[in-house]
Amino acid sequence: MRKRQYPIIGDGAGVMAFIHLHDAGAATVLALDHDGPAVYNITDDDSAPVRDWLPVLADEVGAKPPRRAPRGLARLAMGEGLAMMTESRGASNARARKDLGWTLRYPTWRQGFRAARDDV
pLDDT value, residue 80: 74
| Domain containing residue 109: CATH number | 3.40.50.720
For residues 96-120, give the mean pLDDT: 92
Q: Is residue 2 part of a domain?
A: no
pLDDT value, residue 68: 94
pLDDT tens digit string along 24-46? Answer: 999 999 999 999 889 999 999 99
- At residue 109, φ and ψ (nearest 5 deg) are -60, -30
Q: Is residue 31 part of a domain?
A: yes
Q: Is residue 1 part of a domain?
A: no
pTM of the model: 0.85
120 pLDDT higher than 70: no
Q: Is residue 3 part of a domain?
A: no
pLDDT value, residue 42: 97
For residues 86 and 112, what is the distance between their CA atoms, to the nearest angstrom? 22
What residue type is 74 in one-letter code? A
The total number of structural domains that make up the chain? 1
The answer to whether 72 touches 79, Cβ cutoff 8 Å, is: no
pLDDT value, residue 63: 94
Diameter of the chain by CA atoms?
Answer: 48
Helix (H) or strand (E) holding 114: helix 109-119
CA angle, 1 then 70 then 64, to 5°? 25
- Structural domain range at position 87: 8-119
Question: What's the whole-number average pLDDT of the chain?
Answer: 91
